[in-house]
């Protein structure tokens, strides 16, 4: 008998869609807290998951050292953002103001290290990664200027709308994909309930060859 496959992935996607949509809505209700927490957790995850692959694949020791310093610095920065949220300090003017500076430093450091690695140490890269780091090193000064000249809360509000858009889009996709999985699940359940029609085959009667039958008839009776 074949092993039963896991058929409830659609249910997990429905749950994740609900969580994602709820998070997006809460983003606008508790904007500062959620933006701070999302950014901090994102930076920490982005930093830690890169440690082992980078250390194993970078060929030059100086590149490993530079990237490790960046990872440690980013992890501390992300942890600080998470601490600000859970300590209840995210509404304080100082932490609202410093958010833009932290984000600008994060993007600028990432872009700068990438281009240093490419230009001075010959680290090759693909086109998508190149343009992503062009974006990083371009958006950092813009964030810095907006933080200095404008309202620091405007950056948080803009990111709040961006995360809400991503949450709604991602939740909608998960719900749609889960709906397709649920449809397949119901079709399989239908086939299971209908069962298989068993067709009985008629027994095949074996007949003696004609030559043998004629020979038996011509034999004299004893």
Which tokens hold the place of 28?
Answer: 């606008």
Q: How far apart are CA 162 and CA 152, in angstroms?
A: 16
* Mean pLDDT score, 104-112: 92
Residue 212 pLDDT grade (very low, low, confident, very high; cuts 50, 70, 90): low
Given a cut of 50, whether residue 1 has pLDDT beyond it is no
Given a cut of 70, whether residue 2 has pLDDT beyond it is no
Q: Is 220 exposed, middle or buried (0-12, 13-18, 19+ CB in 10 A)?
A: exposed
The pTM of this model reads 0.66
* Mean pLDDT score, 116-121: 87
- C-alpha angle 171/84/31, rounded to 5°? 40
Contacts for 137 with CB less than 8 Å, ≥ 6 apart: 107, 108, 111, 112, 115
Residue 205 vs residue 88, higher pLDDT: 88
Residue 22 pLDDT grade (very low, low, confident, very high; cuts 50, 70, 90): confident
Residue 222 pLDDT grade (very low, low, confident, very high; cuts 50, 70, 90): very low
Q: Tell which residue, 45, 44, 7, 18, has the closest CA to residue 188.
A: 7
Q: How far apart are CA 88 and CA 74, in angstroms?
A: 22
Which tokens hold the place of 154?
Answer: 């405007």
pLDDT of residue 72: 94
Q: Is 123 exposed, middle or buried (0-12, 13-18, 19+ CB in 10 A)?
A: middle
Given a cut of 50, whether residue 18 has pLDDT beyond it is yes
- C-alpha angle 185/190/193, rounded to 5°? 125
pLDDT tens, residue by residue, 143-186: 888 888 776 667 777 777 777 777 777 777 778 777 777 777 77
Q: What percent of the chain has pLDDT over 90?
A: 15
């Amino acid at each position: 008998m074949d092993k039963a496959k896991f058929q409830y992935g659609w249910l997990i996607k429905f749950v994740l869609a609900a969580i994602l949509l709820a998070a997006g809505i809460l983003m606008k209700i508790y904007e500062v807290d959620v933006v701070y927490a999302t950014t901090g957790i994102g930076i920490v995850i982005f930093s830690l998951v890169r440690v082992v692959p980078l250390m194993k694949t970078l060929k030059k020791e100086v590149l490993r050292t530079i990237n490790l310093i960046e990872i440690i610095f980013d992890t501390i920065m992300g942890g600080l953002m998470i601490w600000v949220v859970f300590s209840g300090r995210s509404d304080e003017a100082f932490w609202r103001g410093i958010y833009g500076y932290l984000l600008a430093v994060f993007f600028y450091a990432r872009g700068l290290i990438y281009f240093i690695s490419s230009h001075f140490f010959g680290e090759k890269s693909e086109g998508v990664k190149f343009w992503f780091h062009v974006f990083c090193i371009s958006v950092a000064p813009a964030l810095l200027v907006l933080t200095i000249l404008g309202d620091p809360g405007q950056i948080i509000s803009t990111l709040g709308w961006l995360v809400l858009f991503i949450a709604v889009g991602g939740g909608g996709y998960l719900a749609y994909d889960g709906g397709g999985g649920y449809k397949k699940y119901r079709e399989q359940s239908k086939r299971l309930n209908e069962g298989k029609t068993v067709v009985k085959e008629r027994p095949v009667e074996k007949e003696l060859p004609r030559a043998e039958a004629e020979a038996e008839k011509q034999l004299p009776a004893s």
